[in-house]
Homo-oligomer: A and B are copies of this chain.
Amino acid sequence: MLPDMSVFTPGQVVEETGFSLDTLRYYERIGLLEPVGRNAAGQRRFTQDDIGWLGMVRCLRDTGMPIAEMLRFAELVRAGEHTIPDRIALLEAHDRRVEAQVANLREKQTAIRNKIGYYRAVSC
């Protein structure tokens, strides 16, 4: 019998998302992930939707959004379509922070490169 390709074992999700199994369980515990479905034996079986949501979580985490704010976003998503304007607002605010982050990083990087240049100059 073909495996059901629309469900994923914890191991597959670890592989796909790069989150550790402990982190996945932690995210479920705190409610960042909705209660994940289980098979007869009580083992988690993730849906394609879960994977998609985890992709979003990965984006937000990697861009520095704190878990508390991701929780707020998760609640908006669960509350239904009428929260879409709020979700847009939240993501736009975050996008602005990411932009500022990049600008700051670039600025500091310039200073570091200047320092490297200075070291090169004195060591020649």
Contact = CB atoms under 8 A, between A and B. Distances in A.
A5 to B, nearest CB: 24
A63 B59 CA distance: 19
B91 A123 contact: no
A62 interface: yes
Contact of A112 (B91, B105, B122): B91
Contact of A95 (B62, B84, B116): B116
A115 B57 CA distance: 12
Nearest to A55: B111
Contacts of A87: 119
Contacts of A91: 112, 115-116, 119
5 contacts: A56-B115, A59-B111, A63-B112, A91-B119, A95-B112
Interface of A: 55-56, 58-60, 62-63, 81, 84-85, 87-88, 91-92, 94-95, 98-99, 101-102, 104-106, 108-109, 111-113, 115-116, 119-120, 122-123
